[in-house]
Amino acid sequence: MNRFQWIALLIGAGLVAAAVPTAGALAQAASTSSGQAYPVRPVRIIIGFSPGGGGDISGRLLAQKMSASLGQPVIVENRVGAGGAIASELVARSPADGHTLLFAAGAFAALPALRAKLPFDSERDFAPVSLVVITAFVLSVHPSVPVHDVKALIALARSRPGVLAFSSPGVGSSAHLAGELFNMMAQVKMLHVPFKGSPEAATAVAAGEIDVGMPSVSAITPFLAAGKLRPIAVTGAKRSALFPAVPTLDESGLRGYDRGGWNGMFAPAGVSRDVIVQLNDLIGKIVNMPEMNETLRKLGFEPRTGTPEQFAAFVHNEMAQNAKLVKFAGLKPN
């Protein structure tokens, strides 16, 4: 079953019917800055990447559950472009009432290093709500590339510096920086080729247009089933439960390699603490419900929630790491 079939199945009646905290259970609802109960109208979740990718799927699953709990429609809008900056700016400029939220990907933490003049401050203008999921990438090659392990890939890349190419969903995306970390630790120079989204990046490798890719676990599954990609290693600290035979990069000789993608929820700065706490609590309950937890894991995600403060610290650390990788890659802020 591919990811699109999963979407149809999981966003259908079976998933919606699963037990979630009801609107009645949230009787002691938080208040907005105006003193009104929250939410008082539909909530928008803005996603800065294209439909069909792993982050989009997890965001839509979460939105469906949130709608059932909040008693208001929760509408997902994809605002693609500028590495997520368009979606981020929209949310940063929205009223601080919790009715417009940002479901961000790891690229959010790379924007300060990549953009010289962002129309927002990535930390000052947002209120972290919760980390939601993390996911590993799968270092993969087109079947025509004559390598079957990391050692052989490194040797091939060293023999073809600047020629062997790897794809990503865009400049500064988590997969792009994961590839640059591979370049740095393996002392190779694979050429980066950006695409507009995760499905497009994976499809380019599967079609033989690009040699190497780092699709997420969720994005790669249909291509592996069709024999169009060959997995070499996973990028996380541990093996994926979906591909237990595929070693980690750490196991494959790049000691200490641990890199992946993540998705988390932000509100505009200034949203009341009560609303932030309500949203954080709701996200934690939804993501850690047994059936939702299992669903996310089957799609290649690892549920990872926590407090708003923990999420803020996580993002701050990601920004510091990304700044180093952007400098290594020779990317100039624009």
Domains of the chain: 3-135+260-328 (3.40.190.150), 138-234 (3.40.190.10)
Contact predicate 18/292, CB 8 Å = yes
Cα(71)–Cα(69) distance, integer angstroms? 6
The pLDDT > 90 percentage for the chain reads 75
Question: Given this model, what pLDDT does residue 217 score?
Answer: 83
The pLDDT > 70 percentage for the chain reads 90
Beta bridge partners of 127: 267
How confident is residue 196, by pLDDT bands cut at 50, 70 and 90? confident
Q: Is the peptide bond before 39 cis (omega within 30 degrees of 0)?
A: yes
pLDDT digits over 261-298, tens only? 999 999 999 999 999 999 999 999 999 999 999 999 99
Cα(65)–Cα(15) distance, integer angstroms? 9
Tokens of 60: 């839509």
Q: Quick check: 8 pLDDT over 80?
A: no
Give whole-number Cα distances, 199 to 104, 226, 231, 236, in Å. Answer: 17, 15, 16, 20
Contacts of 244 (CB under 8 A, 6+ apart): none
Question: Given this model, what pLDDT does residue 20 score?
Answer: 38
Cα(36)–Cα(93) distance, integer angstroms? 21
CA dihedral 170, 171, 177, 180 (to 10 degrees): 110
On the 0-12 / 13-18 / 19+ scale of CB atoms within 10 A, 152 is middle
Question: Given this model, what pLDDT does residue 35 score?
Answer: 61
Question: Given this model, what pLDDT does residue 172 score?
Answer: 85
Question: Given this model, what pLDDT does residue 51 score?
Answer: 85
Higher-pLDDT residue of 49 and 114 is: 114
pLDDT digits over 52-106, tens only? 777 888 999 999 999 999 999 999 999 988 888 999 999 999 999 999 999 999 9
How confident is residue 23, by pLDDT bands cut at 50, 70 and 90? very low
Over residues 123-147, mean pLDDT = 96
CA dihedral 50, 135, 302, 106 (to 10 degrees): -70
| Cα radius of gyration (the chain) | 20
Question: Given this model, what pLDDT does residue 13 score?
Answer: 33
Helix, strand or coil, per DSSP, at residue 326: helix
